Amino acid sequence: MKVLIVDDNASTREMLGIILKKAGHEVLGEAEDGKSALKAFVELRPEVVLLDIIMPGISGIVVLEEIRRIDPRAKVIMLTAVDQDEVTSDLNHKGAAAVVFKPFSHGDLEKAFARIQ
């Protein structure tokens, strides 16, 4: 799948890129904040967006809502360190295709991608 990676941590973006490429996915681009994520989404039209929740400026939750307004069929996998049922339920209600909790493993990402295919 063609993927856009959005996370404010460069090391996390790099690690995600390595894992995704090894799994046969194509990384179309990366973004480090919400504003650049929305711009990249419109320009690149990825099949999947990996989106961190806590970022400077626009939060990942707002970006998720905006992406879903742009394309209601968009597949967005949320990345978060906050492991609470309430947060997961809220993200699913807002249109997240899956939620992956940090720290994540290769297997966690595989499960999330399997869920959206």
Name the one residue in this structure whose structure tokens are 């998720």.
64
pLDDT tens digits, one per residue of 30-67:
999 999 999 999 999 999 999 999 998 999 999 999 99
pTM reported for the whole predicted model:
0.94
pLDDT tens digits, one per residue of 72-97:
999 999 998 876 777 778 888 899 99
Domains and CATH numbers, the chain: 2-23+47-116 (3.40.50.2300)
